[in-house]
Chain A
Amino acid sequence: MNPIRWNHVQTFYMLAIMFALQACAITDPIAKAETTEQRAFATYGTFVIIEEQAAKLVSSGQLSDSAVRAIARADAQVKSVADSLLNATLEFTVIRAEFEAGETGEERFVRAMNELNSWVERARPLIANLITAVRGAE
């Protein structure tokens, strides 16, 4: 491909991506988060919004029994991890305060932060499973 034309294509896509990310940020709590705790909070809060919508759906009486059970299974899985994420965040908050006060070492602080990030990553595919269950039920 002509290098100049390829550059134009690249530029177009880069602008498109930048626009997409900027526009998405209007309804994207995670994009607004700047710290590990804020990111965990945004992830958990987004999960709660999905879960509440799922609850409304199963309460509507319009779903088959199998669809309700599929949503319930997916919810049970993600709920467990999401609550672990929440607990890891609360624990991290304590460790961060101790670290900032010089009461604990950097190694413990980093380990707690890594663990919190790992819970965020574990929650993501499970939230996707819940999404699939809800989508399949509609």
Chain B
Amino acid sequence: MGIIELVLVAIKGLSVVLNNPALGGGSSVKLQEASELLSFLGELLTRGDEAHEELVAFTKVVEEMAAKGRQPTTAEWNTLRGRSDAAHDVIQAAAAATTEEETEQVFLEELTKAELLELAEKEGVSISSSATKAEMVSALEANGR
């Protein structure tokens, strides 16, 4: 089980708890879900993965907060928001990069063989004039385009 899946399993468990009226949820806990919960608990509790450790640490933060009867501070909210913003930026930048690559590939594929040869010459890429268009595009992409 990978880190991500471990977190996902933990979240699935959270959803079960959220559905418990005693914990503020809207309906009773389903036996099947509780049974599934039991099946992964042993594995979850014995894993030392980073995500698990993080969940444990965060659970302690909330537990201490509840024990002291205090509410989350603005600073704590800002810290979480900052972490979320940073992760969000990484994810969106990664997605944007894939879009750019696709756009560029479409651009290359729209060029004629003569244009591709000219571009290759400008970039110092060695391409035979007898190469197919697809081979030319691949060579240009391999050059770091």
Q: Which residues of A contact B (CB under 8 A)?
A: 13, 16-17, 19-21, 23-35, 37-39, 41-42, 44-59, 65, 68-69, 71-73, 75-76, 79, 82-83, 86, 89-90, 93, 124, 127-128, 131, 134-135, 138
- Tell me the smallest distance from the CB of B84 to a CB of chain A, in Å: 5
Contact at B84–A65, with CB atoms within 8 Å? no
Interface of chain A: mostly helix, strand, loop or mixed = helix
Chain A residues, Cβ within 8 Å of B92: 72, 75-76
Chain B's closest residue to A71 (CB) is B91
Contact at A50–B41, with CB atoms within 8 Å? no
A135 to B98, CA, bound (A): 19
18 contacts between A and B (CB under 8 A): A17-B29, A20-B16, A20-B34, A20-B38, A30-B62, A33-B62, A33-B65, A38-B66, A41-B62, A41-B76, A54-B87, A68-B98, A73-B95, A75-B91, A79-B84, A86-B77, A86-B80, A124-B18
Contacts A32-B63, A65-B102 given; does A49 touch B51 at CB 8 Å: yes
Which residues 22-71 of B sit at the A interface, judged by CB distance below 8 A?
A: 23-24, 29, 31, 34-35, 37-38, 41, 44-45, 51-52, 54-56, 58-59, 61-63, 65-66, 71
Q: Which of B1-9, B108-116, B120-128, B129-137 sits within the interface?
A: B1-9
Q: Is B106 an interface residue, CB under 8 A from the partner?
A: no
Interface of chain B: mostly helix, strand, loop or mixed = helix
Report the contact-size class of chain B (Cβ under 8 Å from the partner). 35 or more
Leading 4 A-B pairs by shortest Cβ distance: A72-B95, A65-B98, A55-B87, A41-B72
Q: Is B145 an interface residue, CB under 8 A from the partner?
A: no
Contacts A31-B17, A131-B8 given; does A69 touch B98 at CB 8 Å: yes
Q: Is B142 an interface residue, CB under 8 A from the partner?
A: no
Contact at A37–B71, with CB atoms within 8 Å? yes
Contact at B84–A38, with CB atoms within 8 Å? no
A31 to B12, CA, bound (A): 13
Contact at A30–B17, with CB atoms within 8 Å? yes
Tell me which of A32, A83, A93 has the highest count of chain B C-beta atoms within 10 A of its own C-beta: A32
- Tell me the smallest distance from the CB of A7 to a CB of chain B, in Å: 15
A63 to B32, CA, bound (A): 33
Chain A residues, Cβ within 8 Å of B18: 30, 124
Contacts A29-B62, A37-B72, A41-B65 given; does A24 touch B41 at CB 8 Å: yes
